[in-house]
Amino acid sequence: MDRRSARRRIYRDRHLYLLLTPVLIYFFIWHYIPIWGARIAFQDVKYIGENTWAGLKHFRILFSSPVFFRVFMNTITISAMKIFFFFPLPILLAFLLNEITSSGLRKGVQSIIYLPHFLSWVVIAGIFISLLQSPDGALNQLLGLFGIAPVAFMTSTSHIRWVFVGSEIWRSIGWDSILYIAAINNISLELYDAATVDGATKLQQALKITLPCILPTIITVFILNMGFFMNAGFDQVFNMMNDAVINHVDIIDTYVYRIGLGKGNFSLGTAAGLFKGVIGLVLILSTDRLSRKVTGEGVW
Amino acid sequence: MKKYLALAAVLLAAATLTAGGAQEVPAETAVPVIRIVSKDVSESNAWDKAHLENITEGFIEYIGEEVVLEFVEMPEGAYAEKLNLMLLGGDIPDLIYFQGGDEAISQQGILEDLRPYVAASSVMQKALMDFNRERMENYPYLLWIAPPRARTAVVREDWFVEAGGKIPQTVDEYYTLFAAIKKNHPGVPVLTDTGNTDRMDYTFDLAFGNIATWFEENGSLVYKGVSQAQKDKLAFYQRLYAEGILDNDYITTKWDTMEDKLYTGKAAMVFGTAGIVLDIYDNKLKQTQDTGLVALPPAQGVAQGYPVSSAKETRGWAVSALSEHKDLTFKLLEYLATDEGQFLERYGLEGIHHTVSDGKVNLTEESGNWWPRFHEVMAWDAPTPLLGPAGQKGWDFILKYAVGDPDFPIPEELSPTWDALGNLQKEYTYKIISGEYSIDKFDEFVTEWYALGGDKVTAYARTVL
């Protein structure tokens, strides 16, 4: 393609580029300029005067903690649990919503399931702590009706991570399904009509038409999610953790908040952020490559 | 023609961008401006604005020269973080309130050593308590004049009287009181705490022998969390938990739910900050349960008292070392600790929080919503009592039972280790109290604690204590 034709295409689509401009400016200001600020991970921050070069000092402090490995593993475990158990659910929900024929009912259901997304984790933590209290919480009272002994969900090391997964599902399943619902709505109805004529069941239509058609969306979302793999959910963990389970749920973000940001040590916080970012980048690239090999689909 | 019109429009638009630049700049004045940054205080709040005007007027009279006081507006959100970011951006006010996050800043020489100022001030000598002076010796950058934040045990009066009405002194007498209340009200726990036992510890630590954060036990220096005294105390707490005396949900209880449990009859005893907080509890309990509170002294045993750490102030006022008005800024802190300053600070705004008739101060209903923005001098002799019976009793206990605790700030390089040790202790403590672990597990915890880095911190403690 020569330069003239490229220029001609840009001129032809100038209105689209104009629409794109604010988004590019946003990403440049809020996502690219801060990359330059990440250099303070390698510096000692001075409130007055120039920062001084500190090399890998802050990374050494981060990794030398007697509990860093445990905190790191907690982060990976909680993130992996969320990805594994949560990721398929919004897709399933989108499939189910697609089967509701009454548009009024569908809109009503959608509005209700989107609602928790707008609640802060402080509120959600309060709700879950109250619901899951032992022995008087609503869930334990319900279990009691079936003769099941009360379970200390919030203070049991074997349950608390599942509480994180459960509360994440409750909060985000509706909101995260929006993208899949939009993808499903873009599928040509003729495909379903033809399948119906051929005698395909609803399940067969879902598996043979809907799923393959939204697979690129699923793969894209999955790969992008991998970039946030190390973000196990600061707000959620911070508000739901307690002394009984702290060593099983303390993640990199909560650890850095206590050790770094709470004490004004921004370099340490940035070092942790950079560490998480590098892992996220590696995960995105490797997942993309794996996806291309297996399915032929990728982000780029 | 269109081109010229377009050019004119562009020039006009450009001119509007620079509009204001030509405004007349006020003539330079010699009046010093003291900029103050604090938490939850803003000139957009009418009470804060009026209070600042009153302080300015009084301060001008105190120093005999003109001065302007300004509150720096802070964005919403976590104060310590926002403050740090503001300072990092180079905006360093003259007077800064810190509530954490000050060590990194003081290490860079930005905060003034306040010891020479305090030494030269007779007002400060009168206002400061012993524990304030000890803290200032360890960390001379923060000044905080307020009663020590010890927690006083308070029990609802009707259940207390029903259980015999005898003020407990020893741990055994405390247990007898707990058991009697539990017998009368088996469906509810007697006492609760907020996520840990920190509040209860004020009443029981010294009685069991945890006489300081670090102390000699069997001839060697130990941290209180791994002492024999701690083991004995946890065994007591375990018993309280097993018998339903200690709230089995204390671990997930926050401060607001703790108060709610008191007001709704789901707990008989809580531990509150001595002073106005106890009055608030007392008033709300009267409104909701038609009964008041009885304040109880710390338990007697090996020792008796409320431990008051001398490590450093955890919050307080700092003077910027870069300020052009350091002396004047400290003078402001001094003025606020004088009788005149305390009058403004403690009684609030005339006509809103108090009225004055025939020279006598009368508190209004709104007085309950006022709090001192700078200092709360315990030694100040208020012409009209500020506290109700419960609040006053809490203060009396503090004055009588506060015991110095020779502690020290943990250095930065040991900070991650100290954090890890704290978390280990938290988990074992809960599991022992809740009965998930037997008390014998405490010895295993102590071994683990030293192996995780407790030995290093103890070695450091030996060098500084």
**Bridge-partner residues for B381, per DSSP?**
none
Q: From the CA atom positions of chain A, what is the Rg in Å?
A: 24
In a domain, A62, yes or no: no
Contact residues on chain B for A262, CB-CB shorter than 8 A:
80, 100-101
Q: What range does the domain containing A142 cover? A: 68-295
Question: Do the Cβ atoms of B427 and A246 come within 8 Å?
Answer: yes
Question: Do the Cβ atoms of A134 and B427 come within 8 Å?
Answer: no
Helix (H, G, I), strand (E, B) or coil at A232: coil
Q: B170 — phi, psi (to 5°)? A: -90, 170
Q: Which amino acid is at A241?
A: M
Contact residues on chain B for A250, CB-CB shorter than 8 A:
423
Nearest to B426 among A246, A259, A262 (CB): A246
- Domain CATH number, residue A88: 1.10.3720.10
Q: What is the mean pLDDT of chain B?
A: 90
In a domain, A162, yes or no: yes
Q: Shortest Cα distance from B402 to chain A (angstroms)?
A: 28
In a domain, A118, yes or no: yes
DSSP B308: E
Are B279 and B388 within 8 A, CB to CB? yes
Taking 3-state DSSP, the helix, strand and coil percentages for chain B, each rounded to the nearest 5, stand at 50, 15, 35
Nearest residue on chain B to A245, alpha-carbon basis: B427
What is the CB neighbour count within 10 angstroms for residue A135?
A: 14
Per-residue pLDDT of chain A (300 residues; tens, 9 = 90+): 567 788 899 899 999 999 999 999 999 999 899 889 899 999 988 888 888 999 999 898 888 888 888 999 999 999 999 999 999 999 999 999 988 888 899 889 999 999 999 999 999 999 999 999 888 889 999 999 999 999 989 999 999 999 999 999 999 999 999 999 999 999 999 999 999 999 999 899 999 999 999 999 999 899 888 888 888 889 999 999 999 999 999 999 998 888 777 777 888 888 988 998 899 889 889 988 988 888 787 777
Scan for tokens 């204590």, then name that residue.
B465
Q: Is B228 left (phi over 0), alpha (psi -120 to 50) or beta?
A: alpha
Q: Does B133 touch chain A (CB under 8 A)?
A: no
Contact residues on chain A for B110, CB-CB shorter than 8 A:
47-48
Contact residues on chain B for A134, CB-CB shorter than 8 A:
248-249
Q: Shortest Cα distance from B250 to chain A (angstroms)?
A: 10
Neighbouring C-alpha atoms within 13 Å toward the C-beta of A279: 15
Query: How many domains, chain A?
Result: 1
The tokens of A270 are what? Answer: 């940035």
In a domain, A19, yes or no: no
In a domain, A197, yes or no: yes
Q: How far are the Cα atoms of A8, A11, A95 from residue A1, in angstroms, in the given order? A: 11, 15, 42
Nearest to A243 among B322, B412, B427 (CB): B427
Mutation to test the B interface, candidates A44, A48, A63, A64, most B Cβ within 10 Å: A48
Question: Do the Cβ atoms of A266 and B88 come within 8 Å?
Answer: yes
In a domain, A63, yes or no: no
Q: List domains and CATH numbers for chain B.
A: 33-147+312-405 (3.40.190.10), 153-309+410-464 (3.40.190.10)
What's the rounded Cα separation, in Å, for the pair B231 and B362? Answer: 50
Question: Do the Cβ atoms of A47 and B92 come within 8 Å?
Answer: yes
The tokens of B46 are what? Answer: 């009418």
Band of residue B76 on the pLDDT scale cut at 50, 70, 90: confident
Q: How far are the Cα atoms of B261, B293, B439 from residue B285, in angstroms, in the given order? A: 11, 8, 36
Strands B33-37 and B95-98, by their bridges, are parallel
What's the rounded Cα separation, in Å, for the pair B204 and B174? Answer: 10
> What is the residue-wise DSSP string for B362-384?
EE-GGGGG---SS---TT---SS
The tokens of A21 are what? Answer: 């401009």
In a domain, A37, yes or no: no
Are B131 and B308 within 8 A, CB to CB? yes
CA angle B448, B449, B453 (to 5 degrees): 110
Question: Do the Cβ atoms of B252 and A66 come within 8 Å?
Answer: no
In a domain, A29, yes or no: no
